[in-house]
Amino acid sequence: MSFMSPAVRFQNVSRRFGSVRAVDNVSLDIEPGEFFALLGPSGSGKTTCLRLIAGFEQPDEGHIEIFGETADGVPPYRRNVNTVFQDYALFPHMTVGENVAYGLMIKGVGKAEREEKAKSALAMVKLAGYESRRTAQLSGGQRQRVALARALVNGPKVLLLDEPLGALDLKLREQMQEELKSLQTSLGITFVFVTHDQGEALSMANRVAIFNEGKIVQVGTPSDVYERPTSRFVADFVGSSNVLSPEFAATHGGRAAWTSLRPEKIQIAPQNALVPAACAHAKGIVTAISYQGAVTRITVATEKLALIATTPAGTDVRKGDSVSLIWPKSAMVAMGEGA
Amino acid sequence: MSFMSPAVRFQNVSRRFGSVRAVDNVSLDIEPGEFFALLGPSGSGKTTCLRLIAGFEQPDEGHIEIFGETADGVPPYRRNVNTVFQDYALFPHMTVGENVAYGLMIKGVGKAEREEKAKSALAMVKLAGYESRRTAQLSGGQRQRVALARALVNGPKVLLLDEPLGALDLKLREQMQEELKSLQTSLGITFVFVTHDQGEALSMANRVAIFNEGKIVQVGTPSDVYERPTSRFVADFVGSSNVLSPEFAATHGGRAAWTSLRPEKIQIAPQNALVPAACAHAKGIVTAISYQGAVTRITVATEKLALIATTPAGTDVRKGDSVSLIWPKSAMVAMGEGA
Amino acid sequence: VSGDPLKSVGEGEGQVDIVAWPGYIERGESDKNYDWVTDFEKETGCKVNVKTAATSDEMVTLMNQGGFDLVTASGDASLRLVAGKKVQPINIQLIPSWMKIDPRLQTAPWHTVDDVHYGVPYQWGPNVLAYNTNVFKEAPKSWSVVFEEQNLPDGKSNKGRVQAYDGPIYIADAALYLSKKKPELGIKNPYELNKEQYAAAIALLQAQRALIGRYWHDATVQVDDFKNEGVVASSSWPYQVNLLQADKKPIASTIPEEGATGWADTTMMHVDAKHPNCAYKWLEHSLNPKLQGDLASWFGSVPTVPSACKGNALLTDTGCETNGFGNFDKIWFWRTPTAKCEKESSCVPYSQWAKDYIAILGK
Amino acid sequence: MSSKANRSTPLGLRISAIAGLLFLHLPLALIFLYAFTTEEKSFEFPPPGLTTKWFGVAWSSRPDIWQPLYLSLQVAAIATVLALIFGTLAAAALSRARFFGRETISLLFVLPIALPGIITGIALRSAFDIMSIPFSVWTIILGHATFCIVVVYNNAVARFRRLNGNLVEASMDLGANSFQTFRHIILPQIGTALLAGGMLAFALSFDEVIVTTFTAGQQTTLPIWMLSELIRPRQRPVTNVVAVFVFIVTLLPILAAYYLTREGEHTGGSSK
Amino acid sequence: MTAAVAERQRGIGGAISDLFFARPQLVTFLLLTPPLLWIGVVYIGSLFALLLQSFYSLDDFSGLVVHEFTLATYEQLFEASNAQIILRTVTMAALVTVASAIIAFPIAYYAARYARGWTKALFYLAVMMPLWSSYLVKVYAWKLILAKEGIITWFANELHLRWLLDGILALPVVGGPSLSFSYIGTFLVFVYIWLPYMILPTQAALERVPANFIEASADLGADPRQTFRTVIFPLALPGIVAGSIFTFSLTLGDYIIPQIVGNSRLMIGQAVYTLQGTAGNIPLAAAFTVVPMLIMAIYLWMAKRMGAFNVL
Ligand SMILES: Nc1ncnc2c1ncn2[C@@H]1O[C@H](COP(=O)(O)OP(=O)(O)OP(=O)(O)O)[C@@H](O)[C@H]1O
Ligand SMILES: Nc1ncnc2c1ncn2[C@@H]1O[C@H](COP(=O)(O)OP(=O)(O)OP(=O)(O)O)[C@@H](O)[C@H]1O
Ligand SMILES: NCCCCNCCCN
Ligand SMILES: [Mg+2]
Ligand SMILES: [Mg+2]
């Protein structure tokens, strides 16, 4: 095992189901210790990717390496990789403690020792004392943490998490996000994380891969993908974005390319406000105002297209007002050709 | 029938399940034509409220009136109220068209007429031509719209929606939010809407009722509840908020009361920045930075308590920086006594 | 009024329901030549419904359940039926052929109680020893071939190759064998056993258990066992022997020197018979010499009407003799053992037989 | 449920499954074979010769088959209908409400299938005796329906449990009263479960010997007819012909029920 | 404009429906009463009537039932020969159940987890067809298979395996002069006849084991064997228990199979059947029926706790 090899390496991996290319010629390196997020619309191949890493699926083409060793033909139970399933997949016929100790029992760890380890794994996820509970008696958040402890107790080198927070409600989700993040930081394990919640991906991950139709369309840090989307798809999928046509961009100080402009970069000013040199502007009429608490979302119809701007709450524009939209030219991010 | 009577009136309504007070002495008026949202944590009684209006539950105490007429003892099938269920509850053995025409068939409307009406209801939710599909062949968003058409075709005076968008992914949810809102505006029907997504409640509703443990803790417009929470609970539950202790508030130019301060109202400035007269400030050290795309969330530990501020992405503070936090005194909202 | 004998035979009710031994009431379905039902039905308009029963116990059970008019009960069932008040006295005035019955049977104790007739004798016969002629070049002389472990003439042990009857009444066969084998027991009547005699019979049967692969319960099942299961000797009825011989199987029968138990069957009428007129018509018909002769030929039994022995094409004139007409006195006819008995001060009753036989089978 | 594609069947499993199925079916093949044997009374192996004449015999010269066949069909049909009604009622009641004693009652409802048939038979028989009820087709039906109810109940209860309660509420919400809801929503939803339960009930009744032995008087059902034919064969292949006939006639309904009930599972579960 | 709380035409159905809606317990009561009268009163009543008989006794002298309360019949029940019958039957039922489970499991497992599309339909048919074929004809087919001059012997001779067959038949207790006169034969036929009753619920239980439990187990390091032992089997157990309710109870009570294929040693079903005929010993017959009733009562209680009823 080389310390230089990536935790997970995909080399031109494809996986087909009938005519569906669930994963399509994906190459990807995930570095040791990364918190890596897979983001993409439903059906884009995220789960299939995780399953390929875990060994539940085998690539039809290409190769997967885990810490420099080939995973070809290696069954799941011989991979030092563990998974937290979306629906947790806790064994209903075992107690919480037995669930957590399961992997150790399979390895042949003695009863006393594995109970000890299960106990401390549960303590780590703040469920000390839950050992003898039935899994049916747990809330969603608690189950999620048991699933986490069950995976972590085996000391995996890579932990896979498939939308582990999807079933939780907002407050609980925020809390679990923090716990997960700090666990990952303290354990230094490589996390590969699937989510359909961009906020989650952006705030938790070191790097994010954006999937579309089985392909990776962009890999980068959260700010890379948010601020420098390389394609319309990414710009649109990650957060909300105004996508400017090449003509519009060109006439407003950008390049003649499809261009992304984030709503929060646009300021709303009175019709005749001064436009700083570094900024572009467009005039239009307010067509919709949507209160969102921290911000208000304002839709302005310009001559060419409708732009969305978000402003701090309390801006006193009204529907029908004629306004000027002003944004730094630097905020316009040109994207790949036909993207 | 009086045109002055509220669409739905709860008079001291309680509903208990065993020892659980699911709905606890709730009084509430929902006006005709309102888009009314119920917001609150899981188990706070939102669904029970809707079920009381629909007639699936009967109050243990108190009375419910619908458009001025008592609903006591009136079974669901005699109320001119329709529901869009969270899981849509489409009849799996019927086609889309049959589902939508069901209520009309029950009323005895002739085949030709009800097919006609079902057709136009489906057109209204942009599913023209889907009449003969099986419900299993629909995507989540399409199902949701069928459920909507099935309810609307009966011309209800009140439409109840129980987290209708909960199961949809973000992009689809945003799209459906807009469609729902514009439908409600154009039809003028009273919508009563349960959600656990505050953003949804704030952006869509005319008024919001915040539930906690079976009680309504605050009713008001979205900006009322967001900007003027009357209790710690509301401040904390709706969006994220810094809750300042009475002492802290008092020493920072507020009243000696529990006080809410929204993160987006706080500006991060260099240690020794000037503080405008109308503003309060506190010094502290940055302990966490969380990238969220449009904004970055920064946690600053002051002497007394940790405050969270959100700033536009790109602020160049770093973990460990000493900073000054500055906010308008007017942004501090004092809340009720022991709240 | 149920139970009172009919005073005269009137119009038939259209049917008569009979519980009978297999082979006792034939309508030509097995062999066209053997049919004594079709003509009766034509003449009287009484449709004959037959329910066959394999054992006396089954017959008693069926009669206890009710719903039948007649039953062809053997001696071990007949008195139980009388005691249980399941059958009614017969008005012999209404049966013109009564006088044709073999005098030895007219007042036989298994159907006559306190001089009241509870039935009409139907057929009788011995429980023969059936044997495989490939194994036994000569007929075995003693029942010992089925009771005692020994090598048969083909040099192989009889273990697993012999059968015994699956019914408590078979205890009498053991007693009969012991009455000759161990005269010191003083067994005078195999149906009247004191405790000691009874114990000896049980002991013999317990030892026999090791020889028996399976007890035979049903006549036609036994036919199968002789054909397919390698059975070479067993207590049996002439009926099975006839069937096997008809099938060209190397089977013959004999009455060994110890004598044999046998059956003498009586057609009895249920107390609640729903079709008494048809029943009386059948009772009269059952004594018809043609029927009696055909049946004797078919079943290998002896007619209760001696006149049937002459001029029957199926039976032939030697048939009655072959089937044991002359052996009447050597045959111990089945009877229900009761605690009160003639030859001994007190005897072991049938309920005890029944219980112990189950135990023997289960050993 | 995903990814079956790359999971090949372990050889040992495949072999034992196939061996198990052969064990189930070779004796059935024998039943077919001996419908063609030339023997009349008792069978030997290998059969001395083959003939198709028994099919003709059974059809034209064995009128004694029809009455028992008809009776068995009648009994099974009525018992199944009764079982459908009572089993569904019980399942509906026990799945819709929670009340004291509910668990005990649900245990009671499986008793007739969990206790050996001979106990059901004797118990009913002694009850008929005590109450002086004469034996008739109805006593047979009563006996059969008693255990058929359980079969339907089991199927229905499982489906009710999976029935999305919201569908009923959605129907009422759309103006349908209890009866309309039952007819338009509940019945179609549990229909396939009832079909499956009804078929199994019919099969069990049609083939039941033991309970029938105790609850029948003079009537001969098809199994009783078969029993006497087998013990005292007249034309033993005819029994096999009848068995083969029943086998073939039931093949299609079973297959149809399979696909219908599968569809039911599918749509029943897709509402989430 | 229609009223918000609409006054639609009611009709008789509507009126009753309103009543039902207001009184949900009434509906439960109405639904439950007819089946409960049948099963809870008629059937259970009959069982009690039968149970009552076991506390009477048979007068040996007259052969008539004495209608006086006594435990004498139960004393008889535990006499050696009767106790033997009980022991023999329970042992047979247990062995048949275990064997059925062992044979059924691979079939059920294959059908549940590997068969797809038409193979799945084929498996279903393959299990249902024997269930729909006449029980009696199947038993008689076995007689032909097992007979001394039967199919197994024929093949044993053809394949020169006669020594093996003779060796098996020479086994103490279970052997005999021929397979059809031995416990082995009885056992085989029982297993054969009840097997589908074991396969169906086992398959139902296996089909309910979510695929991702198996993946989760593999993920945690368990090889297929360990996964089977620690996850699949425990979760399929309720199905096996449900199936065993059938195999066990049907074996306890059957009197036809051991009579056709067996060695004349009685089983409970035969004892009950003969006793209630022979000398009309209804009390002892009734006492015998108490044995399966008790066994099944305990069995059901345990099965219920294991959740076996969900797959019955
Ligand atoms: N076992 C399978 N058999 C057939 N098709 C499959 C299978 N597994 C996945 N697919 C298909 O492969 C594609 C990718 O599926 P995958 O589950 O990886 O998507 P995903 O990105 O995880 O989506 P989601 O966000 O909805 O979970 C989809 O079109 C899916 O239908
Ligand atoms: N039928 C019922 N039986 C018993 N308790 C119930 C029932 N329905 C609701 N409850 C209880 O009443 C309380 C309120 O439930 P309700 O469903 O109204 O909450 P909710 O606000 O809709 O929650 P969620 O956001 O999770 O849907 C909860 O404690 C719940 O457990
Ligand atoms: N297929 C014949 C098996 C008989 C099963 N009968 C079940 C009834 C249990 N009381
Ligand atoms: Mg996925
Ligand atoms: Mg709710």
> Are the C-beta atoms of C198 and C168 separated by less than 8 Å?
no
Ligand nearest to the CA of B38: 2
Residues A286 and A220 in one domain: no
Q: How does residue E311 score in pLDDT terms, banded at 50, 70 and 90? A: low
Residue B328 lies in a domain: yes
Q: What's the pLDDT at C269?
A: 96
Last residue of a domain, one of B236, B271, B304: B236
Q: Using a CB-CB distance cutoff of 8 angstroms, which residues of chain D are in contact with residue E300? A: 107, 110-111, 114
Yes or no, beta carbons of A77 and E218 under 8 Å apart:
yes
**Residue D190 CB neighbour total at 10 angstroms:** 25
C-beta separation of C134 from C358 below 8 A: no
Is residue C19 a contact partner of residue C71, using CB atoms and an 8 Å limit? yes
Nearest to C51 by CA among B136, D105, B57, D218: D218
Return the number of other C-beta atoms located less than 10 Å from residue E201's C-beta.
Answer: 26
A65 and A139, same domain (yes or no):
yes
- Measure D208 CA to ligand 3 centroid, in angstroms: 6
Segments forming the whole domain that contains residue D200: 63-263
- Regarding whether D249 and D141 lie in a shared domain, the answer is yes
Cα–Cα separations (whole angstroms), residue C295 to A339, B12, C288, C289, C302: 102, 95, 11, 10, 8
Same domain for D132 and D254: yes
Using the predicted structure, report yes or no on whether residue A2 has a pLDDT greater than 60.
no
User: What integer pLDDT is reported at residue D262 of this predicted model?
Assistant: 67
Tens digit of each residue's pLDDT (9 = 90 or more) over C145-160: 999 999 999 999 999 9
Task: Spell out the per-residue pLDDT of chain D, length 272, in tens.
Answer: 333 333 567 889 999 999 999 999 999 999 999 999 998 877 888 888 999 999 998 888 888 899 999 999 999 999 999 999 999 999 998 887 777 788 888 888 888 988 999 999 999 988 998 888 888 999 999 999 999 999 899 889 888 888 888 899 999 999 898 899 999 999 998 988 898 889 889 988 999 999 998 898 778 899 999 888 888 777 889 989 998 988 888 887 777 777 777 654 433 222 22
Report CA(D204)–ligand 3 centroid distance (Å).
6
- CATH number, position D236: 1.10.3720.10
Tokens found for residue C155: 């040099």
**Pocket lining: B17 vs ligand 2, CB cutoff 6 Å:** yes
Touch D-C: 3+ C-beta pairs under 8 A: yes
| Boundaries of domain holding B285 | 261-334
CA distances from B154 to B86, B101, D98, E2 (A): 19, 9, 34, 11
DSSP string for residues in A281-339: EEEEEEEEEEE-SSEEEEEEEESS-EEEEEEETT----TT-EEEEEEEGGG-EE--TT-
Mean pLDDT of chain A: 89
For the Cβ of D208 lying below 6 angstroms from any atom of ligand 3, the answer is yes
Residues of E in contact with A107 (CB under 8 A): 221
Q: How far from B79 is each of B151, C251, E6, CA to CA, in Å? A: 13, 89, 6
Say if B305 falls within a structural domain.
yes
Comparing C-alpha atoms, which of B193, B148, B197 is closest to residue B169?
B197
What mean pLDDT comes out for the span A97-124? 94
Residue A243 lies in a domain: no
The answer to whether the beta carbons of residues B306 and B244 sit under 8 Å apart is no
Residue D44 and residue D69 in one domain:
no
Please check whether residues B37 and B177 belong to one and the same domain. Answer: yes
Report the distance separating Cα A293 and Cα B226, nearest Å. 6
Kindly report, residue by residue over D213-260, the tens digit of the pLDDT: 889 877 889 999 988 888 877 788 998 999 898 888 888 777 777 777
Whether B46 is in the pocket of ligand 2, judged by its Cβ within 6 Å, is yes
User: What percent helix, strand, coil does chain D show, rounded to 5?
Assistant: 75, 0, 25
How much distance in Å is there from the Cα of D166 to the middle of ligand 1? 28
Closest-CA residue, ligand 1 atom 20, reads: A43
From the CA of B14, how many Å to the nearest CA of chain E?
18
Together in a domain, B270 and B215: no
The residue whose CA has the least distance to atom 4 of ligand 1 is A17
Task: Please name the member of B174, B203, B237 whose beta carbon is closest to the beta carbon of A291.
Answer: B203
Chain D environment of A51 (Cβ under 8 Å) = 2-3
Pick among C17, C25, C27, C29 to test the D interface (most D CBs inside 10 A): C29
- Using the beta-carbon criterion (under 8 Å), do C349 and E60 form an inter-chain contact? yes
Start-to-end Cα distance in chain A: 40
Residues D105, D14, single domain; the answer is: no
- Tell me: pLDDT of C272 over 70: yes
Sorted by sequence, the CB contacts under 8 Å of residue C129 that are 6+ apart come out as C139, C140, C143, C145, C146, C233, C234, C235, C236, C253, C254, C255, C256, C260
Q: Give the CATH number of the domain where residue A81 resides.
A: 3.40.50.300
Distance CA C304, CA D162 (A): 71
Domain count within chain D? 2
Which residue's CA lies nearest to atom 17 of ligand 1?
Answer: A47
Predicted local confidence at residue C40, as pLDDT:
96
- Indicate whether A227 and A288 sit together in one domain: no
Contacts of A42 (CB under 8 A, 6+ apart): A196, B169
Q: Which ligand is nearest to the CA of A172?
A: 2
CA of B193 to the centre of ligand 5 (A): 11
Sheet of A259-261: strand order equals A242-244, A259-261, A333-334
CA A223/CA C238 separation, integer angstroms: 104
**Same domain, yes or no, for A32 and A164?**
yes
What confidence tier does E116 reach under pLDDT thresholds 50, 70, 90?
confident
Contact across the interface for E222 and A87, Cβ inside 8 Å: no
B267 and B227, same structural domain?
no
Q: Say if residue A228 is in the same domain as residue A267.
A: no
- Cβ <8 Å between C361 and E148: no
Rounded to a whole number of angstroms, the distance from the CA of E277 to the nearest CA of chain C is: 5
- β-bridge mates for residue A37, sequence order: A193, A208
What amino acid is encoded at D224 in this protein? I
Q: Estimate to the nearest angstrom the gap between the alpha carbon of A134 and the chain centroid.
A: 31
Distance C362 CA to ligand 3 centre (A): 26
Which residues does chain E have within 8 Å of residue D260's beta carbon, measured at their own beta carbons?
none
Burial zone of D77 (CB within 10 Å; 0-12 exposed, 13-18 middle, 19+ buried): middle
The residue whose CA has the least distance to atom 12 of ligand 1 is: A22
Query: How far is residue D266 from each of residues B92, B93, B134, D54, E211, measured CA to CA in Å?
Result: 9, 11, 12, 44, 17
B-E contacts (CB, under 8 Å): 41
Q: Residue A141 is inside which H or E element, if any?
A: helix A140-152
Q: Does A57 touch chain D (CB under 8 A)?
A: yes
Peptide bond into D46 cis (omega under 30): yes
The CATH number that domain E81-310 falls under is 1.10.3720.10
- Centre of ligand 5 to C-alpha A65, Å, is 45
Across chain E, mean pLDDT equals 88
Q: Using alpha carbons only, how large is chain B's radius of gyration in Å?
A: 24
**Does some domain include residue A136?**
yes
Residues with pLDDT less than 50, chain B: 1-2, 338-339
Chosen for mutation from A56, A72, A162 (greatest number of chain D CBs closer than 10 Å) is A56
> Which pLDDT does position A3 carry in this prediction?
55
pLDDT of residue B43: 85
C230:E259 CB<8 A: no
Give how many domains chain B has, as a whole number: 2
| In a shared domain, residues D182 and D211 | yes
Q: Is residue B141 domain-shared with residue B105, that is, in the same domain? A: yes
Whether residues B75 and E17 touch (CB distance < 8 A) is answered with yes
| pLDDT tens string C55-70 | 887 888 788 877 899 9
| Residue B14 C-beta-side C-alpha neighbours within 13 Å | 10
In a domain, B3, yes or no: no
Q: Are residues B193 and B72 in the same domain?
A: yes
**Three-class SS of residue E138?**
helix
User: CB–CB of E215 and A83 under 8 A?
Assistant: yes
Q: What is the largest CA-CA distance in chain A?
A: 78
Question: Which of the 8 DSSP states describes residue D186?
Answer: I
What pLDDT does D264 receive?
41
Instruction: Write the residue in E220, E226, E231 that is nearest to A82 by C-beta.
Output: E220
Tell me whether residue D240 is in a domain.
yes
Which of D109, D149, D199, D207 should be mutated for ligand 3, with most atoms under 8 A from CB? Answer: D207
Residue B161 to residue B82: CA distance in whole angstroms: 9
B227 touches chain A (CB under 8 A): yes
Interface with B, mutate which of E1, E2, E5 (most B CBs under 10 A) = E5
pLDDT at A291: 85
D269 belongs to a structural domain:
no
Q: Is residue A256 part of a domain?
A: no
Q: What is the pLDDT of residues B265-321, one digit of tens each?
A: 999 999 888 888 899 999 999 998 888 888 888 999 998 889 999 988 767 888 899
Using CB atoms within 10 Å of the CB of residue A110, give its burial: 0 to 12 exposed, 13 to 18 middle, 19+ buried. exposed
Which chains have 3+ CB pairs within 8 A of C? D, E
Which residue of chain B comes nearest to D267, CA vs CA?
B92
Span E214-226, mean pLDDT? 92
Cα dist. C235→B226, B234, C228 in Å? Answer: 102, 98, 17
Q: Is the same domain home to A183 and A229?
A: yes
Q: Decide: B20 in ligand 2 pocket, CB within 6 A.
A: yes
Structure confidence at residue C72 (pLDDT): 96
Strand ranges for E10-109 from DSSP E = 57-58, 65-66
Contact indicator for D258, E125 with CB cutoff of 8 Å: yes
Q: Choose among E193, E175, E184, E189: nearest CA to E143.
A: E189
Number of neighbours of residue D116 by Cβ within 10 angstroms: 27
Residue A313 domain-assigned?
yes
DSSP classification of residue D271: T
| CATH number reported for the structural domain that contains residue A297 in this entry | 2.40.50.140
Q: How does DSSP classify residue C103?
A: H
The pLDDT of C316-332, averaged and rounded, is 87
- Using one digit for the tens of pLDDT, what is the confidence trace for C78-132? 988 898 888 999 999 999 999 999 999 999 988 998 999 999 999 999 999 999 9
Task: Among the bound ligands, name the one nearest to the CA of residue E215.
Answer: 1
Q: Which residues line ligand 1 (CB under 6 A)?
A: A 17, 20, 22, 40, 42-48, 196; D 2-3
**Closest Cβ opposite residue D20 in set E18, E106, E273:** E106
What per-residue confidence (pLDDT) applies to E1? 38
Residue A280 shares a structural domain with residue A229: no
For residue B46, give the ligand 2 atom closest to its CA. 21
D115 with D18, same domain: the answer is no
